[in-house]
Structure 1
Amino acid sequence: MSPLFCTFILLYFFIVCESTWVKDLNLPRQLLEYHISSNKNLRDRCSEDPTCKINLNASKCFGFEDDCINENSLGFRSKFTSCDNNLNPKVAEKFYEQGDFGYLESRLVKHSICSSDDSSKSSLSCSDHLTHCIGSNIYFDFSNLKIKSSTRYRQDVIQPGQVEGNCENFDRKLLDNNLNVKGYLMSWADELQHFKSNLDFKMDKEHCDVIFEKPTVVMKLDAAVNLYHHFCDFVNLYASLHINQTFNQDIDIILWDTHPGGYNDHYYGITWKAFSRNEPFELKEFGKSLEFLNYEITENILSDQKRVCFKNVMMPLLARQRSGLFYNSPLVYGCSGSTLLKTFSQFILHRLRLGIKPQKAELEKVRIVILSRSTAYRRILNIKELLKSLGHLPNVTTRVVDYNERIPFLRQLNTTSQTDIFIGMHGAGLTHLLFLPDWAAIFEIISLGLKRKLLLYSSYSDIYFSKLQIHLIRSDEEGKHPQSGEKHLKFANYHVDPIEFREQVKSMVDHVRAHPKFINSRRAQRRKQAEMEAEKQKKEL
């Protein structure tokens, strides 16, 4: 082997090894740059690493950090948020505080309830009202769980003496002052209200039946079967990662579900892979042998009897907080486009390997997707007639999809992320709006009493939306709840006026084609094609 080749091998090995930590962050490019630039430890590491290609000359931050000035924030630089002309600047500020990175400022961890100078002892710090907490070397005793006879959404699992740490400094009054907001999906007050310091506690086999060595996220969860409610979990977990300034994928996740049947996350559970490369655990699984955990404790003890210890634990923002994020969101009118939700979308698509390449417009066609339903209600009864009405629209492709349980969620996301116009009678499926390209439009055939939610999604995503006038839609039945008999539009099926439908779609096609980002995407692809063709001709010569 020649010395030159050996040198090449060594150089290649050096570069790959030295750049591994950046690759391991596994973040889309823009998020990667801002994360490294705004995190002092990562910034210092990058500046000392010649293979780190992140530009550190320009200060970058997300906006919620204490030392971040507005001109350096992602929202200011990206210009993703847009507001009505002549809007009072205070309205824009309010939108930022309610639905963007500014929201995180009010959720920062600032209350040190338990602290220690000795790293072998415990710590517990929380935001106001215990909406988000981080701790080290603490434990929960699940003696009161009684999983076989338990029910879902219990708030009484942890009793006095069942959550402790060894604190050099413990502020009981500070803890009590932040217990005023309770609720299963609102805060961690029910689980931490009995926290106390135990000077005899140690992280060892004598005091712990299970020890989680890796950083661990404990999640109380909304409904697994509903896309919108489950994504309230994921959006708030993503926001918590920003607060905690870590996107490490080698973490454990515990699904704090108190039902004996477990959480049953069959539909959208693949999304956890965006947050951890390890499979989540459930409380009911503590009843199994723990040998597969690669921990030393392998006794088959029921979860009811287990003291579960955490070396590092995060209790993230929950799905249904007061004035929450993505749920109970009191967004002001006049602005749209949340940079926080946009980076969430990019993060999910990237980590699930659907966004490795940027979203691109088709060179010639506008892509239309009509959401059909195999459910009992909200079906378009004359969908073939509607498809026929679109047949003469030039340079469009039209697909009919049914996002039912037989279609894997990854395939659904892949379809959505490559759609320019999304049409249907949505409910929780409006969550797909988060993953449409920036230039996309959504056609909600009938709002079905979800006008507020539709406006909320549109405000978060800055997506253009339209709907038909109610007189252009008819149903052969009176919509009634199948159990209660209460009247509601969503419990019916509908015929849609094909002429007006075509005109609305034509208007949306024009909107998409005129969108600056759609135009820029096409230009970029044409340039790339021209460069490839020129390179090909050059080689042929």
Structure 2
Amino acid sequence: MWLKLFSFCFVATTVLSIDLKDVELPPEHIPYFFNAFPKLAKDCEQNPECPYKAVVGKKVCWGYERDCNVSNSYHVRPQCPGDHRGWVQTKDAQYDTFYTQADFGYVKEQIEDSMVMCEASFQGDSSLECSKYLRFCRGRNIMLNFTGLVGRGDNLRYKTDILARGQIGGYCNFYKDRLLKESEHRSALQSWAPELINFVQTPEKPIAAGVCDVTIDKPTYIMKIDATVNMYHHFCDFFNLYASLHVNSTHPSTFSKDNNILIWETFTYYSAFQDAFKAFTKNPIWDLKEFRGKVVCFKNVVFPLLPRMIFGLYYNTPLIYGCDRSGLFHAFSKHILHGLNVKPQLRTNDKIRVTLLSRGTTFRAITNENEIVEALLKEKSYHFQRVVYDKNIPFIKQLEITHNTDVFIGMHGAGLSHLLFLPDWAAVFEVYNCKDPNCYFDLARLRGVKYVTWENKDKMIQHDHKGLGPDPEKAHAKFTNYSFDVKEFVRLVAKCAKHVRNRRDFRNFIDAANLKGQHIEL
């Protein structure tokens, strides 16, 4: 079963004065955690009840630490077998570029770009530091004044005027010119510039001066989120929140679930994917209505990386050609699956588990889907299922199906974001990319799973060649339906299945399952 970290938290808290009972990590991540916090590792060594002595002292690191040797970095590392197509001059440069664009090197860049905007002189003072362009910030004893929200209604989303000048600030040495210089990106979901340009140096310590109607003691993550109805877009939020844990990882409480999350809008948060927040917090999700009309002081606050940053992760991320497999995305996948208690299931045979995601929508349907399903059901080496991921299947159940799939099939659409949670050996078959060739191809590259798509357009039919949509002059391939040659479809599924069977980790998993006859933890 999954291991819960810190059954020995009473020892750790005597050293670091924190409560770690809510910190949970996938077993494979525990050595990295201990390496980052040697005091906790020492406590484990000295505590006879600590069950993790075997992993204490392992020379491992995530990849962004200053003294991290690449040979000891996170065990899933990029591979670059393909041509770099002129981006860089050498293979080493190709690897380094991908690592910085899409792996823990991206976290390292945010840390190294961090600069102090508001400097504390004494205990109890405020502080604020941010990465370049104010993409990520964290502060202590920061005041936010939400009295300006009174009378503004409950439809505040993607607004850049939530705060006015002086409605955010702290008692510190404020480097105003430095902050303004980094405020170039002022779009709602690109940076925290729209909010932080209103920062002021307060005449007194806000908490000590009694100006706070509410003081929040627990660490709080304030999030501006993308479209919550779309899995691809909403998981940009969850991924960047996870990456921000690493940018902020100067204290073990970073990985605690006993924190607060405040959504930067007045809409009551709801999403079909909202269970994903359970991997980050055990507390209710707040929105701005919680504090309308109040002055709030946060003892520890984080403004995480945002979903639509220029050259950010993972929305429209420009990736160098020829590389795949990001350790950061791999770790994110494991973090979510572990946090939601999604586990691999018992295998009683070596059949390839094939899942076809059927669209219950107007457009991008496979019109001859029943023929394809009938053909795949005849393949005796497959365990085949057709699913519709809608409100009738809870999201965690969807993840359980996905995580126990070897070949995942679907038309271009947000549901293909499930590929993030496939097992490492899996393949994703985007039946047709609808003239958006890079979106899920790149996401599959980042996750490190095999990607296949339709190869011969002569063997498919687009039923309305002009496309459909509200504006015929702007018709697009995404707004129509398709049929596919059944034999060619089956051939491409077989191509995916062959990849799975050739993977050593798949064979090891099957062998172990057959040997033990019980659930195997990945």
How far apart, CA to CA, are the structure 2 residues paired with 1:129 and 1:506? 47
Tell me the residue number matched to 2:86.
none
Tell me the residue number matched to 1:59.
59
- Distance change (3 Å), C-alpha of 1:15 and 1:340: closer
CA contact (8 A) 1:446 1:470 kept: no
Question: Are positions 1:425 and 2:414 aligned together?
Answer: no
- Distance change (3 Å), C-alpha of 1:313 and 1:45: farther
Question: Are positions 1:110 and 2:88 aligned together?
Answer: no
Which of 69, 80, 83 lines up with 2:80 in the alignment? 83
Tell me the residue number matched to 1:5.
none
Larger deviation, residues 135-144 vs 432-441: 135-144
Which of 99, 102, 113 lines up with 2:102 in the alignment? 99
Superimposed CA distance per residue, residues 213-266 of structure 1 (whole angstroms, 9 cap, x where no aligned partner): 2111100111111111110011000000011111110001100015xxx05422
Tell me the residue number matched to 1:297.
none
- Kindly tell me the number of residue pairs found equivalent between the two proteins: 492
How far apart, CA to CA, are the structure 2 residues paired with 1:333 and 1:197? 46
Tell me the residue number matched to 2:129.
125
How far apart, CA to CA, are the structure 1 residues paired with 2:401 and 2:76? 27
Tell me the residue number matched to 1:30.
28
How far apart, CA to CA, are the structure 1 residues paired with 2:389 and 2:224? 26
Amino acid at match of 1:81: P
Amino acid at match of 2:66: D
Tell me the residue number matched to 2:329.
341
Q: CA deviation at 1:437?
A: 0.8
Tell me the residue number matched to 1:247.
255
Which of 489, 492, 500 lines up with 1:504 in the alignment? 492
- Distance change (3 Å), C-alpha of 1:126 and 1:47: farther
Q: CA deviation at 1:40?
A: 4.0
CA contact (8 A) 1:321 1:328 kept: no
Question: Are positions 1:211 and 2:209 aligned together?
Answer: no
Q: CA deviation at 1:479?
A: 5.3
How far apart, CA to CA, are the structure 2 residues paired with 1:511 and 1:441? 7
Tell me the residue number matched to 1:515.
503
Three-state SS of the structure 2 residue aligned to 1:119 is coil
Three-state SS of the structure 2 residue aligned to 1:317 is coil
How far apart, CA to CA, are the structure 2 residues paired with 1:340 and 1:154? 30
Tell me the residue number matched to 1:199.
203
Amino acid at match of 2:215: I
How far apart, CA to CA, are the structure 2 residues paired with 1:418 and 1:361? 10
Q: CA deviation at 1:17?
A: 6.0
- Distance change (3 Å), C-alpha of 1:362 and 1:342: farther
Q: CA deviation at 1:51?
A: 3.2
Tell me the residue number matched to 2:277.
272
Q: CA deviation at 1:528?
A: 2.2
How far apart, CA to CA, are the structure 2 residues paired with 1:197 and 1:512? 58
Q: Output aligned runs, 1:212-231, within 5 Å.
A: 212-231=216-235
How far apart, CA to CA, are the structure 2 residues paired with 1:147 and 1:419? 47
CA contact (8 A) 2:367 2:481 kept: yes
Three-state SS of the structure 2 residue aligned to 1:174 is helix
Question: Are positions 1:350 and 2:318 aligned together?
Answer: no
TM-score normalised according to structure 2 size: 0.89
Amino acid at match of 1:36: F
CA contact (8 A) 1:479 1:490 kept: no
How far apart, CA to CA, are the structure 1 residues paired with 2:489 and 2:476? 23
CA contact (8 A) 1:360 1:521 kept: no
Which of 439, 443, 451 lines up with 2:425 in the alignment? 439
Q: Output aligned runs, 1:146-161, within 5 Å.
A: 146-148=151-153, 150-161=155-166
Larger deviation, residues 519-528 vs 271-280: 519-528
How far apart, CA to CA, are the structure 1 residues paired with 2:433 and 2:313? 22
CA contact (8 A) 1:479 1:488 kept: yes
Tell me the residue number matched to 2:397.
411
How far apart, CA to CA, are the structure 2 residues paired with 1:136 and 1:360? 47
CA contact (8 A) 2:410 2:416 kept: no
Amino acid at match of 1:331: L
Superimposed CA distance per residue, residues 115-144 of structure 1 (whole angstroms, 9 cap, x where no aligned partner): 224332211111112111111111111233
TM-score normalised according to structure 1 size: 0.86
Tell me the residue number matched to 2:175.
171
Superimposed CA distance per residue, residues 370-399 of structure 1 (whole angstroms, 9 cap, x where no aligned partner): 111111111111222112212332221111
CA contact (8 A) 2:269 2:285 kept: no
Amino acid at match of 2:107: L
| CA root-mean-square deviation | 2.4
Three-state SS of the structure 2 residue aligned to 1:125 is strand
Larger deviation, residues 405-414 vs 197-206: 197-206
- Distance change (3 Å), C-alpha of 1:16 and 1:282: closer
Q: Output aligned runs, 1:486-501, within 5 Å.
A: 486-501=474-489
Three-state SS of the structure 2 residue aligned to 1:423 is strand
Amino acid at match of 2:164: Q
How far apart, CA to CA, are the structure 1 residues paired with 2:176 and 2:82? 50
Tell me the residue number matched to 1:474.
461
How far apart, CA to CA, are the structure 2 residues paired with 1:89 and 1:16? 42
- Distance change (3 Å), C-alpha of 1:311 and 1:19: closer
Tell me the residue number matched to 1:43.
41
How far apart, CA to CA, are the structure 1 residues paired with 2:245 and 2:364? 37
- Distance change (3 Å), C-alpha of 1:338 and 1:115: same
Three-state SS of the structure 2 residue aligned to 1:63 is coil
Superimposed CA distance per residue, residues 246-292 of structure 1 (whole angstroms, 9 cap, x where no aligned partner): 1110001100015xxx0542211111111000011001233xxxxxx
CA contact (8 A) 1:360 1:418 kept: no
Tell me the residue number matched to 1:289.
none
- Distance change (3 Å), C-alpha of 1:186 and 1:309: same
- Distance change (3 Å), C-alpha of 1:149 and 1:461: closer
Amino acid at match of 2:124: S
CA contact (8 A) 2:349 2:510 kept: yes
Question: Are positions 1:140 and 2:140 aligned together?
Answer: no
How far apart, CA to CA, are the structure 1 residues paired with 2:30 and 2:182? 34
- Distance change (3 Å), C-alpha of 1:314 and 1:359: farther
Tell me the residue number matched to 1:306.
294
Amino acid at match of 2:123: S
> Which stretches in structure 2 are left out of the alignment for 5+ residues?
1-6, 14-18, 84-89
How far apart, CA to CA, are the structure 2 residues paired with 1:390 and 1:281? 46
Q: CA deviation at 1:23?
A: 6.0
Amino acid at match of 2:255: F
Superimposed CA distance per residue, residues 2-56 of structure 1 (whole angstroms, 9 cap, x where no aligned partner): xxxxxxxxxxxx9796699776421101112212212344334434434332423
How far apart, CA to CA, are the structure 2 residues paired with 1:177 and 1:359? 52
